[in-house]
Structure 1
């Protein structure tokens, strides 16, 4: 009987709505958890500095070739991992656009992604972004919806091809591949 009750308890526990383990349980199996600071002010600076503003708009400032990243009052908090996953889904198009419009591929660290995610979810910080925050030459590079009409993106998006390998940032040195026998 005791075994049956234990099986029933395990079965009911599996049906509960709880999806995350309590914080006291270590499910990382010895791997330390990494926590990133979320700094929406730093994210606002990165949004302009990295060139995200060329395609994305916030507070009416920026391009319209990609989704606006305006935060919504009362929306659930932004999860940086979810934000990164959404970026990953759009990566082929973003990489291609960056190479064409910026002449380089934007490189982001985990902390920078966390800060951009914080900015994407912060209504108050987004209100601080004004067009004067964007350098003059960059303002003339904002892409609008017509960009998608004049470029031939249908096949690219259908195939998800990038068409090239992005170069690593100057400060990142890749290890040499072993010589082939």
Structure 2
């Protein structure tokens, strides 16, 4: 399995002191490595039955669209509030300092459809949980939640499993 860690830059004390920011732009900027990244997800889900990839704004779009293309699935964006032009479902979630909202088009998914939800990173799980709530409100079913990076110390992947969702990540950063 492809290990993305050697290609991820860690930026200390950003956006605030004490945070070790995991920067995936270095992973995406190398064409061969970017292909290996997408291929790793394609191989993970090649034999899984599902209908659509739901990508979370904005890095989930970078991953989700080429994965959906390679697997011949639909791509459905979950956007930050105010970015979708038609009827939407919306879900609030908590941030470290305040709250935010994400939306999905109300007609983007049909009841019974099976989806893969993807983002770049799982930290506290707030954004991922909000996206999953939008998917289930649409009547669709989540087959898996995926990310490049899991930060298990922040509890997001545990939180998602407690909510009944399986989680896949290509790498983890624990205690650092």
| TM-score category of the 2 structures, normalised to the smaller one | under 0.3
TM-score (norm 1): 0.24
RCO comparison, higher one (Cα < 8 Å, 6+): 1
Q: Which has the larger radius of gyration?
A: 1
> Which of the pair is proportionally richer in helix?
1
